[in-house]
């Protein structure tokens, strides 16, 4: 497989930290599927990346990136030396973290997976609209939006200037996920930094609900042509990954199974403070890594360096990420 060109926004050091303070605390923030064809990257900018999966096309869309302070956010179990892993990857304490969304052209439909942070988390994010424009996609033409979960950096892009960004789209979310974040009495169950999520979810989803364009699913449901939802609960109460299958090829949209690849591929037991259920999140990550390594399927990760697409390989007891474009 030869990659024509690869754009990456995640290889540079980000000098700004994500301004999550408004939400509670200041973060010093080889199976047949492996033969999908990589299309030339967009000629009108560096925030899109295209991949063919069978007869379907996937376009990676950058929403930007932010600085994630590993010392405050990552949780390493006993015996795992986080500083050494960061040093081995030539990372500092603050790691540049991408926020990616994905557009799937399948069955004559335009299906968007996650929507970015909009204006909620600072000016280094909220670039999804620009990326859609560079890809030649009119937001009003999008038929469905699939949400891996309802954290602010995945759901906020549903609204722009007080109006729905995707006025003709049906928004799909796991039933348990919607129930949890729609009930403010659940606020004490989450980390203080995440409690602003309840307000953001209400504001971004209500306009779609009012127009009958908010739908729920359960794990295993077919949510769009060639796309099935699969439970990966742990990071949130209804966290979902989406599996795209076409003509014997496959790509799995992981959502937030990985936040800092440089440490979580070699040490999957490392979790992040945002995880709702730390043990479950680590378990789902381990299972997903093992499946990806054994099958050779394409993976797309919301927080892997843009475009967030690639393959997982096994290396002893650890895993290795091979991004799209690597020879």
Distance, in Å, from the CA atom of 69 to the CA atom of 92, rounded to the nearest integer, reads 9
Residue 27 maps to a domain: yes
Residue 6 maps to a domain: no
Q: What is the pLDDT of residue 7?
A: 37
Q: What is the pLDDT of residue 326?
A: 58
Q: What is the number of domains present in the chain? A: 1
Residue 8 maps to a domain: no
Output the domain CATH number for residue 62: 3.60.15.10
Task: With beta carbons less than 8 A apart as the criterion, state whether 199 and 156 touch.
Answer: no
Domain span at residue 25? 20-323
Task: With beta carbons less than 8 A apart as the criterion, state whether 241 and 198 touch.
Answer: no
Peptide bond into 307 cis (omega under 30): yes
Residue 15 maps to a domain: no
pLDDT per position as a tens digit, 269-326: 999 999 999 999 999 999 999 999 999 999 999 999 999 999 999 999 899 999 997 5
Identify the residue with better confidence: 324 or 6. 324
- The mean of the pLDDT values for the chain is 87
Phi, psi of 144 (to 5 degrees): -150, 145
Task: With beta carbons less than 8 A apart as the criterion, state whether 51 and 58 touch.
Answer: yes
pTM of the model: 0.88
């Amino acid at each position: 497989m030869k990659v024509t060109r690869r754009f990456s926004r995640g290889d540079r050091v980000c000098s700004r930290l994500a301004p999550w303070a408004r939400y509670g605390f200041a973060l010093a923030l080889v199976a047949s599927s492996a033969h999908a064809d990589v299309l030339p990257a967009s000629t009108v900018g560096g925030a899109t990346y295209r991949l063919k999966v069978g007869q379907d096309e996937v376009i990676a869309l950058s929403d930007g990136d932010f600085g994630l302070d590993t010392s405050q956010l990552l949780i390493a179990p006993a015996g795992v030396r986080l500083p050494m892993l960061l040093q081995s990857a030539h990372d500092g304490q603050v790691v540049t973290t991408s926020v990616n969304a994905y557009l799937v052209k399948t069955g004559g439909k335009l299906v968007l997976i996650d929507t970015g942070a909009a204006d909620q988390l600072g000016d280094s994010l909220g670039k999804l609209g620009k990326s859609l424009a560079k890809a030649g996609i009119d937001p009003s033409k999008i038929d469905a939006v699939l949400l891996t979960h309802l954290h602010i950096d995945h759901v906020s892009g549903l609204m722009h200037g007080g109006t729905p960004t995707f006025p003709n789209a049906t928004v799909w979310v796991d039933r348990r996920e919607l129930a949890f974040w729609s009930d403010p009495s659940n606020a004490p169950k989450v980390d203080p930094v995440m409690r602003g999520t309840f307000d953001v979810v209400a504001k971004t989803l209500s306009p779609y609900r009012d127009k009958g364009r908010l739908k729920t699913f359960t794990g295993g449901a077919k949510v769009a042509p060639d796309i099935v939802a699969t439970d990966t609960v742990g990071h949130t109460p209804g966290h979902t990954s989406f599996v795209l299958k076409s003509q014997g090829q496959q790509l799995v949209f992981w959502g937030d199974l990985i936040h800092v690849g440089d440490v979580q591929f070699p040490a999957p037991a490392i979790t992040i403070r945002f995880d709702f259920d730390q043990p479950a999140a680590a378990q789902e990550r381990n299972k997903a890594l093992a499946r990806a390594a054994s099958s050779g399927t394409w993976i797309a990760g919301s927080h892997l360096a843009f475009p967030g697409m690639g393959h997982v390989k096994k290396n002893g007891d650890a895993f290795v990420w091979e991004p799209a474009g690597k020879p």
